[in-house]
Chain A
Amino acid sequence: MGNNRVIVGMGSCGIAAGAKTVYEQLEKADLGAELCITSCVGMCYAEPIVEVENASGRIMFGNVDSRFAEVLIQSVKSGSELPDENRIKEDETGKKYLDRQVKIALKNCGVINPESIDEYLAVGGYEGIKKCINSSTPEEVIEIVKTSGLRGRGGAGFTTGVKWSFLAGAKNNPKYLVCNADEGDPGAFMDRAVLEGDPHAVIEGMLTAAYATGASLGYVYCRAEYPLAIKRLIIAIKEASERNLLGDNIQGTDFSFNLKVKEGAGAFVCGEETALMASIEGRRGMPALRPPFPAEAGINKLPTNINNVETYANVPFIMREGPEAFNKYSFGKSVGTKVFALAGKVKRVGLVEVPMGLTLREVIEEIGGGSSSDRPLKAVQMGGPAGGCIPESLFDTPIDYDSINATGAIMGSGGMVVMDDQTCMVDVARYFLNFTQKESCGKCTFCRIGTKRMLEILTRITEGKGVENDISLLEELAGHVSKTSLCGLGQLAPNPVLTTLKYFREEYEAHIKDKKCPAGVCKPLIKFTVNPDNCIGCTACAKACPTKCISGERKEVHFIDQEKCVKCGICRDTCKFDAIDID
């Protein structure tokens, strides 16, 4: 049987996992088949991934190292039967990972070559916008998007069709359209994956919005930390312009839309729309008071509409397949699917897209395969620095905007970091506060100073210096910070603290009253000791210790000098006999 194509998954994380080395190995091998690339298919846990396409379909192989690449090379070259091992879509875990997912925004990610407009066209690309231009008025397009029920996927969840109608109704010209790709939440990589994997879908979504609203100028504002996404976006814009799908008089009509990429410069607050627009204008990215809303006075005081990457990526599907194909996935007031970056202590980390209404437990345990450490799971963090920690006892919460909000967390842009019992929730709260405090632009006093004071309190709690009324002081400050801040950054900054206080108050109390860190994370509160029953005297810990504070003869129980110990935990990571205890 002839093998036609060999496809290597070359997303950022695939490359980091070794896909480029594999690609080079395949390139040198004279395969007798076409060698292509695609982007992230979402199965990050199995990177690097190589697919072989022949008459019977595409077979996906995961965890491809140089040895296995050689096996693949030999079987492709000789045309013999492809190996049975590493078939990640067919094996039990792969099926579990994929079965519950519904791909709309990620439909083409990991399937087509993102650097080829022809491959996008071959899967129905740009059909949606052509349909709009040829047979629908702008008003009808907005109605379709309203009917679909699509809500903004950047976090706030505002109804997209309504937002578009504001811009359509604005009187001044020209009008701007912005794609917010300033994905700043630590622990989130959905937008990067979409831009790297299917940039034309985002362009088509923007084109549709431009047609519906009368916008003629567009920007994609992308994080500078995503060089590959920027590169692929620029290629896609060039290709679309060459095919008269962008630029002036698109497809011979009087509809024109010009699109540019703006590279961010590292400021989390620029994810906020007014700050983002200030940054596009070449100023410090500081939020401004609304009203006026962007639809009225945005970039250069002209009408502007801003949507997130995933929101735009959903639009071509809605236009092509109709709004019912989208809103048949619905739960409560939430419709369609949501992409999540599933990370942390689960077996299968990756990019998943699930229909609204699936429960957190289904995502974490069925798709993600449960705990990777075999230790009990404790919480899931959703929504990044603006979100919160949902405890394991609430894992049966369905995923929809309202149910997630009811827990105190937010849907957010899609970061989902799973934590086990070795994660300290006070430390997690301190981590996020440290982040928001650094990223506060400083405009609002409570956001600038209040978050700093909250961070100081959290820091002293994790250092064992917490005092009796620290918790109530945190709660009081949290209320002030969220009430008196202009933008979402400050308004939501206390969320990680409030949710951990709500669900894990006893951990705070253990730190303050008992001077203990139950998870064994906060250094000043823990002590590493050697368990004499388990230590066999292999000397591995003593060799690994950076401060040389572990002593002991070979085959005898070792001893840690507490005076010199810096509590780095390397001994515990090194020990194969579970002989290092944390008190």
Chain B
Amino acid sequence: MSCADCSNAAKEAREVVAAVGSEPEKVIPLLQEIQKRHGYLSQELIETVAEEINLPVSRLYGVATFYSQFRFHPIGKHLIKVCKGTACHVAGAEKVYSIISEDLGVVEGETTEDGLFTLESVACLGCCSLAPVVMIDDNIYGKLSPAKMGKILKEYADGK
């Protein structure tokens, strides 16, 4: 392993393990730490971290693919999470979702070509009083109508 990228990955894997711990029960926090740093789990980091904690790579992949939080592709600049909880569903979450999907030309899990937006849906954000709700990065937008949603997307696209 002599290439610069590989040694970088090995160095980062050591950092991640030093910060979180190396016991088998730390597998989920380790994966969460990698995702916190990069927004997704790269094959390289999963492999190097597995090596670092002496667990088979399959064990890490097994866990990572089980939980919906983990992603295996880089995400766009802004992460859009459309809440599809019961209250949001009844209040028209599907309409809001299709507006975003049509506007951006992407479906669940995809990133726009310009790398600006990634679209995801979540089971419930727990803000049922504001249904329908969408979370963009750390901001929650509630009581959305398709028109209001279009306006918000435009604000982000214009470089908010």
Interface residues of A (CB under 8 A from B): 12-13, 15-17, 44-45, 47, 183-189, 192, 224-226, 263-268, 279-286, 341, 343-345, 349-350, 381, 384, 415, 417, 419, 423, 428, 431-432, 435, 439, 441, 544, 546, 566, 568-570, 573-574
B 93-134 to A, binary, CB cutoff 8 A, 1 in contact else 0? 001001100100000000000000000001111111111010
CB distance A12 to B63 under 8 Å? no
Judge whether A344 and B70 touch: CB under 8 Å: no
- In the complex, identify which listed stretch (B1-9, B11-19, B81-89) lies at the interface while the others stay far away: B81-89
The 8 closest A-B pairs by CB, nearest first: A44-B129, A187-B86, A265-B67, A16-B140, A186-B85, A189-B126, A343-B128, A266-B68
Do B129 and A268 touch across chains, with their CB atoms under 8 A apart?
Answer: no
Other than the known A281-B25, A435-B123, A570-B95, what 7 A-B pairs have Cβ atoms closer than 8 Å? A183-B126, A225-B125, A384-B86, A415-B86, A546-B146, A566-B98, A569-B92
Q: Mark B122-154, 1 if CB is under 8 A from A, else 0.
A: 111111111101000000111001110000000
A16 touches B127 (CB 8 A): yes
| Sample (26) of A-B pairs whose CB atoms are under 8 Å apart | A12-B127, A13-B127, A13-B130, A15-B140, A16-B140, A16-B142, A44-B128, A44-B129, A184-B124, A186-B85, A186-B89, A187-B87, A188-B124, A189-B126, A225-B122, A263-B29, A265-B67, A266-B68, A282-B23, A344-B128, A417-B87, A423-B90, A431-B86, A431-B89, A544-B147, A570-B146
Candidates B24, B31, B67; contact of A281 at CB < 8 Å: B24
Q: Is B26 an interface residue (CB 8 A)?
A: yes
- Residues of chain A with a CB closer than 8 A to B62's CB: 284
Inter-subunit contact A573/B146 (CB<8 Å):
yes
Q: A15-B140, A568-B98 are in contact. Are A45 and B123 (CB under 8 A)?
A: no
CB contacts (< 8 Å) of B23 on chain A: these are 282
B residues near A265, Cβ cutoff 8 Å: 28, 31-32, 67-70
Pairwise interchain contact B24-A282, C-beta atoms closer than 8 A: yes
Known: A186-B84, A266-B69, A435-B123. A570 touches B147 (CB 8 A): yes
Contact call A282/B69, Cβ cutoff below 8 A: no
* Residues of chain B lying within 8 A (CB to CB) of residue A544: 146-147
Which of B63, B98, B129 is A282 in contact with, Cβ under 8 Å? B63
Whether A13 contacts B28 by the Cβ 8 Å rule is no
Question: In the complex, how many angstroms separate the beta carbon of B46 from the nearest chain A beta carbon?
Answer: 14
Q: Tell me if A12 and B131 are in contact (CB < 8 A).
A: no
- Asked if A16 contacts B63 (CB within 8 A), the reply is no
A192 & B68 in contact (Cβ 8 Å cutoff): no
Min Cβ gap A261→B in Å is 11
Instruction: Please pick, from B25, B66, B99, the residue contacting A546 in the complex, using a CB distance under 8 A.
Output: B99
Docked CA distance A186–B29 (Å): 24
**Hey, which chain A residues are within 8 Å of B126, CB to CB?**
12-13, 183, 188-189, 192, 225-226
CB-based contact A341/B67 at 8 Å:
no
B80 interface contact, C-beta 8 A: no
* Closest A residue, CB atoms, query B86: A187
Q: Does A569 contact B95, Cβ atoms closer than 8 Å?
A: yes
> Are B86 and A381 interface neighbours, CB within 8 A?
yes
Q: What are the residues of chain A within 8 A of B131 when measuring CB–CB?
A: 343-344
Contact residues in A for B141 (Cβ distance below 8 Å): 16
Cβ-defined contact, A345 with B90, below 8 A: yes
The answer to whether B27 has its CB under 8 Å from any CB of chain A is: yes
In the bound assembly, the distance between CA atoms of A435 and B86 in angstroms comes to 10
How long is the Cα–Cα vector from A267 to B98 in the complex, in angstroms?
Answer: 25
> Smallest CB–CB gap between B149 and chain A, Å?
11
Q: How far is the CA of A324 from the CA of B76 in the complex (A)?
A: 56
Distance between Cα atoms of A284 and B63 in the complex (Å): 5
Kindly state the separation between the CA atoms of A225 and B63 in the bound complex, as whole angstroms. 18
B87 touches A280 (CB 8 A): no
Chain B residue numbers with a CB within 8 Å of A47 are 129
- B69 and A573 form a contact (CB under 8 A): no
Q: Report if A189-B67 is in contact (Cβ < 8 Å); known contacts: A282-B26, A284-B62.
A: no
Chain A residues with CB under 8 A of B29: 263
Closest partner residue, chain B, to A547 (CB atom): B102
Query: Bound state CA distance, A170 and B102, in angstroms?
Result: 58
How far, in whole Å, are A184 and B85 apart by their CA atoms in the complex? 10
Question: Shortest distance in angstroms between B2's beta carbon and chain A's nearest beta carbon?
Answer: 32
How many Å from the CB of A91 to the closest CB on chain B? 18
- Do residues B95 and A187 form an inter-chain contact, with CB atoms below 8 A? no
Expressed in whole angstroms, the Cα–Cα distance for A2 and B65 within the complex equals 58
Report the Cα distance A184→B86, complex, angstroms: 12
